[in-house]
Structure 1
Amino acid sequence: MHWTTIADRWRLLAIPVVLAVFVAAWVAHPAYQMADFSAFPAAGFDTTVVSQEADFEQGFASSDLHDFVHSPSVAALPGGDLMAAWFAGSREGAADVEIRGARYDAISGVWGDEEILVTREMTRRAIGKPIRKLGNPVIAFAPDQRLWLFYVSVSVGGWAGSAVNAMVSDDLGVSWSKPRQLVTTPFVNISTLVRTAPVFHADGSIGLPVYHEFLGKFPEYLYMDAEGRVIDKFRIADGTNSLQPTVVPLSPKRAVALLRQAGDEGHVLATVTEDAGRTWQPEREVAPWNPNTSLAAVRSAAGSLLVAQNNLIDGRFNLSLDETTESLSEWSLVTSLDASPDPWGKPFPQLRYKELLSEKFLTSSGLARQSLLDEYLNEIDQRMCRNGMCDFEYEYPYMIRATDGRYHLVYAWNNSFIKHVAFNDAWLEAQL
């Protein structure tokens, strides 16, 4: 009994020592030089295949009428096709949420029917652990011609208990590998979420902007090899109130990250890296307001940044496209992409709301979805109305610039559809 007790004590003493060594090994970044960003310079864009006339296009990527939809992303495929992904279910965080997607055909200019990409059960079988809910898919086309899909799953608790999963397709999304969970923390592997577009480095490695919500809120830069194996991760900001970083390379080593302000009221936050994502300057506030909501940014052909955001003190009733300098010191409005008819975002009585929503639907839907209007109007009171008063809501933008120079933006439209907007440099110049 005496020897057993001594052995047990040694084991108890050894546990914190082993944990300390493990943590030290995890956080001690090896002395390697990260590869340059491959998204720069812009000379890799072939804009000759895009019309030089001002061109603006909009339509719904999703087609289901009955589910709440949220957190979309989009990838540009060879030949001008697109593939979008989002999550859909009875509500955010519900057990019935699925990761869905749809494909855009560049020749016909039409989005196809949506399909199920991932379910809870598919994820559970693949990773071998219980899955309570899914969320936030990020789809991206890599320079090696493979299509990646990252998404969030939760096994225990809320979003703070999340992990990131990865799938890859070698045939442009026709078939996918089994989900694989990324190991991003040494213990339990919880509280890593993804929302914004990855950045590809010149050697094929992947920089995935992620964020943390357990015992604090802060963004990180997850550095992976070309096969999606985690090499390292770096803190983007040390604060407790920033989420969902959108990273835009400005030179081979320099990039800016715009951050969601996770407080009740505040401005967009920003930080800069000068060593391809390894270290980041202290975060700072910039001019636009951010009502605790996601934003997206890309570099334009002129070298400025285009930012899709809810530049509002409160609410998500207006989604604007803004332009700013690389220094983020000067901002100007390009256009309002979608907005409530009321400039202050006040709700409308349901009858009036249906009239206004009908107009917006017919403008936004694209020809392929216009036949859904009457059936859709029977569903709106479940999603956008409370006590006979109804709101407009446009949120969670995700924006890319395709290699043909065309810009593509997707966002959640009134919790009901995923809307796609596309435009070229000629249209952008006309707005400016």
Structure 2
Amino acid sequence: MSIAARVLTVAPLWVLLAGASLAIGAVPPPQVEEFIYEEAPFPQCHASTIAETPDGTLVASWFGGTREKHPDVGIWVARKTPGASWSAPVEVANGIQYTTPEGQVVRHPCWNPVLFQAEDGPLLLFYKVGPSPRDWWGMLTTSLDGGLSWSTPRRLPEGILGPIKNKPIALPNGSLLCPTSTEDDGWRVHFETTPDLGLTWIRTGPINDGESIGAIQGSILTRADGSLVALGRSRQARLWQSVSTDGGASWSEMTLTDLPNPNSGTDAVTLADGRHLLVYNATERGRSPLNVAISEDDGQTWTMIHTLESEPGEYSYPAVIQAKDGTIHITYTWNRTRIKHVELDPNQL
């Protein structure tokens, strides 16, 4: 099916849900559209993340195992060096806690890895371990060789989860601002800042009450004036949004946008030319279609430019970055069985 036809497939629903705050556009087919792997030693996967290393290698990670919440779920990584194919998935972290004298292994599932390549520093891999999102804890492992090998994972300080699904951003002072959230007392968004790549932390309080708007899993965009916009998933069938004018120390009252959301993860990135790009399910129910939208006015209005998937199924939890060469890379869950990678040309948006 052509890209134009795929956009038209969902256009009536999109127009109905988003009203006057959108336009419909289209882009040429992706430069790259591929599965990161065809076969793996786990039946299910979810919650991918992607980063680029200084030499141009793409590194992707996700959690995989029998099924979400199963104790055997671990964190897996694959690499794609320039001009090569993706490497076979390798498990780099698990939730093993200890072994009893009787030989029983006590283990918890892993969740939501988040990759971030520090400037002049290591590749960071944040993830969570625990029985459920209500009581998980944050973990961090690092790589000095572009994801080939990883340090012994360490637990983050009590009450610090790290970026909960989507990547941090680097502030002008070099600190990382991490969008995070909790689910143990309503769905509430807060932010964590680390000036030293995860050694010490500053944590803000929640920016919503978890009742009038139940919100989690933010992404952070940077405006031309230096202010920040966060937006993400909610239980209210719309994406939420908040603004910070002081580098993430405080945030405006959370509001709901016109963009539909079926209570599923999203991701967004500020492009080098100042535009913002959003990947999300443009529907109130289900996890198909999966769409790409762009904003040229600091997130006030969005134009849907591409539909990644429109067939029945689950296409969800996207991650998006812009590489040094300008190309846009998106990964997402494909029916819980594989992770898909798509590359777009920003000059064609």
Matched, 1:255 2:228: yes
Cα shift at 1:159: 1.6
Aligned to 1:62: 37
- Flag the structure with larger Rg: 1
**CA pair 237-325 structure 1, distance change in 2 beyond 3 A:** farther
Does the aligned pair in 2 maintain the 1:184–1:230 contact within 8 Å? no
Summarize the Cα distance change of 1:139–1:192 in structure 2 as closer, same or farther, 3 Å threshold. Answer: closer
Residue of 172, 175, 189 corresponding to 2:146: 172
Specify the code of the residue in structure 2 equivalent to 1:207.
Answer: L
Map residues 342-361 of structure 1 onto 2, 5 A cutoff: none
1:90 to 56, 66, 71: 66
**Partner of 2:201: helix, strand, or coil?**
strand
**Whole-angstrom distance in 1 between the partners of 2:326 and 2:206:** 29
- Conserved in 2, the CA contact under 8 Å of 1:55 and 1:426? no
Is contact 1:235-1:279 (8 Å) kept?
Answer: no
After superposition, the C-alpha distances for 1:17-66 in whole angstroms (9 at most, x for unaligned) are xxxxxxxxxxxxxxxxxxxxxxxxxxxxxxxxxxxx99621111134355
Conservation of the 8 A alpha-carbon contact between 2:275 and 2:297: yes
What does residue 117 of structure 1 align with? Answer: 92
Among residues 197, 203, 225, which one is paired with 2:195 in the alignment? 225
Structure 2 counterpart of 1:420, from 324, 338, 341: 341
| Pairwise CA distance, 1:124 | 5.3
Could you tell me the TM-score, scaled by structure 1's length? Answer: 0.68
Q: Is the 8 A contact 2:126 2:162 kept in 1?
A: no
Once the two structures are TM-superposed, the CA of residue 172 in structure 1 deviates from its matched residue by: 1.3
Counterpart pick for 1:281 among 226, 230, 252: 252
The SS at the match of 1:426 is: helix
Is the 8 Å Cα contact of residues 260 and 284 (structure 2) preserved in structure 1?
yes
Alpha-carbon separation, structure 2, partners of 1:236 and 1:247: 16
Q: Which runs of 5+ in 1 are unaligned?
A: 1-52, 341-390
Q: Is the 8 A contact 1:144 1:204 kept in 2?
A: no
Aligned-pair Cα RMSD in Å: 2.2
1:4 is matched with which residue? none
* Superposed displacement of residue 130, structure 1: 5.8
Between structures 1 and 2, the one with greater helix share: 1
Larger strand fraction of residues:
2
Structure 1 residue 134 corresponds to structure 2 residue 105: no
Aligned mates of 2:229, 2:119 — CA distance in 1: 21
TM-score if structure 2 supplies the norm length? 0.84
Q: After the TM superposition, which residues 231-270 of structure 1 pair with which residues of structure 2 at under 5 Å, given as runs? A: 231-235=201-205, 237-240=207-210, 241-251=214-224, 253-261=226-234, 263=235, 265-270=236-241
Q: Name the CA distance, whole Å, in 2 between partners of 1:101 and 1:337.
A: 23
Partner of residue 51 from structure 2, selected from 75, 79, 91 = 75
Maintained 8 Å contact 1:68/1:88: yes
- Within the candidate set 275, 280, 289, 1:309 is matched to 280
CA separation of 1:55 and 1:215: change in aligned 2, threshold 3 A: closer
Contact 2:188 2:208 in 1 (8 A): yes
Aligned position for 1:208: 178
Three-state SS of the structure 1 residue aligned to 2:186 is coil
Query: Are the aligned partners of 1:73 and 1:86 in contact in 2 as well (CA < 8 Å)?
Result: yes
1:353 matched residue in structure 2: none
- Identity within the alignment, %: 27
Q: Report if aligned partners of 1:94, 1:133 keep a CA contact under 8 Å in 2.
A: yes
- 1:326 CA displacement: 3.8
Per-residue CA deviations over 1:137-192 (Å, capped at 9, x if unaligned) read 111111123100000001xx52200111011111212221111111142xxx7x77
C-alpha displacement of 1:252: 7.0
* AA at the equivalent of 1:255: L
Cα distance in 1 between the residues matched to 2:306 and 2:30: 14
1:181 aligns with 2:155: yes
Q: CA deviation at 1:203?
A: 3.5
Say if 1:168 and 1:427 are closer, same or farther in 2 by CA, change over 3 A. Answer: same
Q: How far apart, in 2, do the equivalents of 1:131 and 1:326 lie?
A: 47
For 1:276 and 1:192, locate their aligned partners in 2 and report how far apart those are by CA, in whole Å: 17
CA separation in 2, counterparts of 1:252 and 1:324?
A: 16
